[in-house]
Chains A and B, each alone.
Chain A
C-alpha cells in the first residue's frame, strides 16, 4: 500500500526511541483510518491532516526529549560536583582565553576598515634599493609630480605628522596633529561625526585657517560643546576655525587630535626632504600592480630630471590594510592565535578524558538502561546533550572570563598593536564564542558517545558494571592524555624560547644609564619663535633654569631619546667613498646630552657651545659601530670628513669630532649605528633629559615651574622617567611572553591532571589484580609501576611527539623570534630542558595516584567483585 509506505517515511521524523516503540501501532492505526475513507478526496484530506499532525507532534516530541535530557544532565552534574567543576573550570579557561585572543584578532585584523571601498586604497612609499631602504616617507615635490603625472589614481593625498600647542581655553596643551591634503577625507571615504570635512579651497594658501578636532579632544578640552563648530581656537598661537569633529579612530590611527589642511609650498621644499605619507585611491578597475608600474616609471623619469635628489629612488605600493597592520603585528597575533588554539585542543582533550572516565564510571547505569530497552541512539543522544549542557555552561563562564581577559588586555595592547584602541567583546566575537562552544561541546561529546556505540550490551551486567566502556576507554584515554602532553610540550617549548629571548632583551646593554633620569618634551610654535636665535635662547634659558633645581646633576637636549619611538634617518658615507652610502639613524644633541645619559666618550670630544648647526652641521659625532663600519681599517677617524644626506641636501664634508658608545635606540630592531649633530633650534620638538640625585619623578613640578617662568604659554609634555621608557619599550614582548607562558602553564597543568587521572583510573579498575599481586609478594614499587605504566607510556609518547613537532617548527619559530627581537634562542638546550622538566612533571603526576595502589586492602578489593 503506497499511502502506508509514505506514512512510514513520515514516521522517521520522530525521535528514534519513540518510533521504535510506536511505529507498528501507528502504522496499523493509519492503515485502518485509511481503509475507512473510501473517497479519493477524503483520503487526500486524511493525508494532509496526518502529515501536518506528524510534523507538529514530532517537533513536540523532540522538544520534550531535549528538556528531559537537559534536566537529566543537570541532575547528573549535581550528583558529581567535583567532576562538573573540573570540566567547567577547564572549559571556562579554554573558551575564555580563545575568545579573548580572537577578540584581539578580530579588532585588529578582521574588523572592516572605516573607509569606503578600501580595496582601492593604497599607501605609497618611496624606496631606495641601493641604500637598503624598503619604505621611506615621500618628499612633497615628488608627491606633487606623481599627482600631476599619474593616471592610475582617482586622487592622492599627503599627510604630515605635526604637533600643535593649543592655547586659550585653559592650560596650554600639546596635541598630536596631522596636516592632510584637503582631499584626504573624501578620498578615504571618512565622515566627520559633526560639521564637515575640508573643502578643496581650504587646501590653498591663505584659506587654510581651519581645523578638524577629534572626538576625544572635543570631549576633554571643550567639554563636548556642540557650539565648538564655527568657533576659533588658537593653534600654535594662530587662530583656526573648527569646521568639524572627527571620529577618534580613523582606522590607521586613533591618537591624532587635530587635523589641519596641508598647503603645499613648492618654493620652500626640496625633493630630498622625505617627510610626508601618501595615500591614493585607485581608479576603478586599476590594479595596484599597474599603478606601481606607472609610478615607478614616473620615479625613474624624476631620477633623470633631478639626479641630485632622486637618483636611485623608486616607489612602492601597499594595500592600506597591510600598511595599517604591519607584518610584525600580524606575526604577534598569529603567534598568540596558534598558542591559544593549542591550549583549546588541550582543553578539549582534558574534558574528553574526564567525560570518558565518567562514562566508564557510569557503565553500570548505561548497561541497565540498555538492558531495559533504551536504544543505543537514545543514550548517545543523552550523552551528547550532557556534553552540550556542560559546554553551554562552560562557554557562558568562558565568555565571562573573556570579558575580564579582554579588559585586562585592552589596557596593555593599546600602544602595542594598531587598531586596538577600543578593544571590547563585540557581537561578532560573541557569535564566535557561541559557535566555538558548540563545536567544542560536540567535539568532546563524541568521545563518550563513541564508546557507547561500541559497547557490548551484555558485559556490564555480567561484570557488575565495570567492563562496558573499560576496554575501549583504556585505548581512548591514553590517546587523549598523550595529546595533552604533546600540546603542553609544544607550548612549553614555545614559551621557554620566548622567555629566553625576552630575558636577553632585558639584559641588553643599553649603552646608557636609565636610572635617575627624567625626560620631558617641548615644542616651540613657529609663530611665537620665528627665528632660531629666539628658539635657542629659550632652550638655553630652560637648561640653565633646570640645572638650578636642587637635586639636578645635569640636563641635556636631544631630538629623540633612545627607545622612545620616532626614528629619523639619513644616508652617510666617508667623503672619499661616496658611492657606498648607508642609511643611519640621526639625532640632534646639545653638549651636555651624552654626559647626562652617561654615554661614554670613546675618542675625540663631545659638542661644545660653539658648534652651531646653521646652515649645515659643523661637526658630527658617530657611534662606535658606525665609525667601524665606515672605516673598517682604522681607528683614527677623528677629523675625517663624511658626507650626509642625498644630493642637494648636504653633500659637503662634515668633520667627525667624536666617537661615543653604542646605544640601544629601539629594542625590537635595535640599530646601534647612529650619528649625532648639534641642535638646529627651531620649530621642532626637543626633549630634555635631566639627571637627578634623588627620585627623578620628584622634580616634575619644579620642571614645569621652570618652563612657566620662561614662557607661561608653553606646554611641557611626555614627562616620563627613563626607567619607564625602557620598561614601556619592552611592553609588547612582555605581553607576548606573559600570555604564552600562562597558556603553557595551563596546558602543563591540564596535562598533569590528565596523566594523574588516567593512572588513578587504572588503579581503581585494576585494584583486585594489584591486590593479588601485592598479596603474592609484589613489591610496592612493582605495584606502582604496574599502575602507572599506561599513563607514563602515553605521556612519554606524547612528550616525544610534542617535542618532535616543536623541533620541526623550531626553524620557523627561531626566524620569527629573530625577526621580532633580534635574538636567537638556544634551541637544543631548551628542548633538552623541556624534555626533562616535563618528564619530571608527568612522573610526579603519575606516581602520586599510583601510590594509592600500594594502599589497597586486598580483602576489600577482592570482595568488590
Chain B
C-alpha cells in the first residue's frame, strides 16, 4: 500500500522474533518468487502438512512484510498452473533475506539451548 511505505530499518535484529507465518513465508520466498497460493502450498509441504495458512493470515502477513520492506510486490503475471489467471508475485528483498537468516539463527540457538537442557527432539517414527 503506497500510503504506508516507510524507510526500511536496516537492523535485521529489530524485526525479531518473527511471527511463525511471517517466517514461513520468507523461507518459502527464499526459494524464488512466488504468488500467494504457491507460498501456501510450500508452507504446507515444508511443515509436513502441519501448517496450513488461511488466506487471511497469509495476505495480512504479506501486507505487513511489504510495509516493513522485507518483500516486494512484482507485476502481475500469469500463473503457469492455471490458464488465464493473472497472479501477483512476491520477491524477498535483501533485508528480508537477512531477517529470515537472523530468525533461523535465533531458532537454532533456542534449539541448542533446549538440547543443553536435555531436551533433544525425539525422532518421529514414520
Which residues of chain A have a CB within 8 Å of any CB of chain B? 17-18, 21-22, 25-26, 28-30, 32-33, 49-50, 53-54, 56-58, 60-61, 64, 68, 369, 372-374, 378
Contact = CB atoms under 8 A, between A and B. Distances in A.
Contacts of B85: 28
Contact of A374 (B2, B40, B52, B63): B2
Contacts of B1: 17-18, 21, 374
Nearest 9 A-B pairs (CB), nearest first? A53-B54, A57-B56, A53-B56, A26-B55, A372-B2, A57-B60, A54-B56, A22-B59, A374-B3
Contacts of B59: 18, 22, 25-26, 29
B87 A58 contact: no
B97 interface: no
Contact of A30 (B55, B64, B87): B55
A21 B60 contact: no
Q: Which size bracket describes the interface of B in this complex?
A: 20 to 34
A287 to B, nearest CB: 61
A50 B56 contact: yes
A54 B54 contact: yes
A28 B36 CA distance: 9
Given A50-B56, A56-B56, 12 more contacts: A17-B1, A25-B35, A26-B36, A26-B56, A32-B37, A33-B40, A33-B52, A33-B55, A49-B54, A372-B3, A373-B2, A374-B2
B56 A58 contact: yes
A25 B59 CA distance: 9
Interface in B1-55: 1-4, 35-37, 40, 52, 54-55
Contacts of A29: 36-37, 40, 55, 58-59
B120 interface: no
Contacts of A378: 3
A447 B83 CA distance: 48
B3 A369 contact: yes
A61 B59 CA distance: 10
Contacts of A28: 36-37, 85, 87
A696 to B, nearest CB: 74
A57 B57 contact: yes
B101 interface: no
B2 A61 contact: no
A49 B82 CA distance: 25
A21 B82 CA distance: 21
A25 B62 CA distance: 12
A46 to B, nearest CB: 9
Contacts of A374: 1-3
A25 B82 CA distance: 13
Nearest to A30: B55
A604 to B, nearest CB: 92
A50 B62 CA distance: 17
A539 B1 CA distance: 92
Contact of B87 (A25, A33, A53, A369): A25
Contacts of A373: 2
A21 B63 contact: yes
B4 A68 contact: yes
25 contacts: A18-B59, A18-B60, A18-B63, A22-B59, A22-B63, A25-B59, A26-B36, A26-B55, A26-B58, A28-B37, A29-B40, A29-B59, A32-B82, A53-B54, A53-B57, A54-B54, A54-B55, A54-B56, A58-B56, A61-B60, A61-B63, A369-B3, A372-B3, A373-B2, A374-B2
Contact of B60 (A60, A68, A372): A60
Nearest to A64: B64
Contacts of B2: 369, 372-374
A25 B88 CA distance: 7
A50 B59 CA distance: 13
Nearest to A49: B54
A28 B84 CA distance: 12
B85 to A, nearest CB: 7
Contacts of B52: 33, 49
Contacts of A25: 35-36, 59, 87-88
Contacts of A30: 55
Residue among A26, A54, A68, A374 having the largest count of chain B Cβ atoms under 10 Å: A26
B89 to A, nearest CB: 11
A805 to B, nearest CB: 44
B42 to A, nearest CB: 13
B40 to A, nearest CB: 6
A643 B54 CA distance: 99
Nearest to A58: B56
Contacts of B3: 369, 372, 374, 378
A457 B62 CA distance: 29
Nearest to B63: A18
Contacts of A21: 1, 63
Residue among B35, B55, B64 having the largest count of chain A Cβ atoms under 10 Å: B55
A372 to B, nearest CB: 4
A227 to B, nearest CB: 65
A74 to B, nearest CB: 15
Nearest to A372: B2
Contacts of B35: 25
A50 B56 CA distance: 7
Contacts of A32: 37, 82
Nearest to A27: B55
B2 to A, nearest CB: 4
Interface string B50-94: 001011111110111000000000000000001001011000000
Contacts of A68: 4
Residue among B2, B3, B56 having the largest count of chain A Cβ atoms under 10 Å: B56
Residue among B4, B37, B54 having the largest count of chain A Cβ atoms under 10 Å: B54
A141 to B, nearest CB: 83
B25 to A, nearest CB: 13
A351 B37 CA distance: 49
Contacts of B64: 64
A17 B59 CA distance: 13
Contacts of B56: 26, 50, 53-54, 56-58
B38 to A, nearest CB: 10
A478 B64 CA distance: 43
A28 B52 CA distance: 16
A53 B57 CA distance: 7
A58 B57 CA distance: 9
A60 B56 CA distance: 10
B114 to A, nearest CB: 29
Contacts of B88: 25
Contacts of A33: 37, 40, 52, 55
A373 B3 CA distance: 8
A187 to B, nearest CB: 64
A36 B24 CA distance: 21
Nearest to A17: B1
B36 to A, nearest CB: 5
Contacts of B37: 28-29, 32-33
Contacts of B63: 18, 21-22, 61
B18 to A, nearest CB: 15
Contacts of A26: 36, 55-56, 58-59
Contacts of B57: 53, 56-57
Contacts of B60: 18, 57, 60-61
A369 B62 CA distance: 22
Contacts of B82: 32
A54 B35 CA distance: 20
Nearest to B37: A29
A30 B52 CA distance: 12
A647 B68 CA distance: 96
Nearest to A26: B55
B5 to A, nearest CB: 9
A337 B56 CA distance: 50
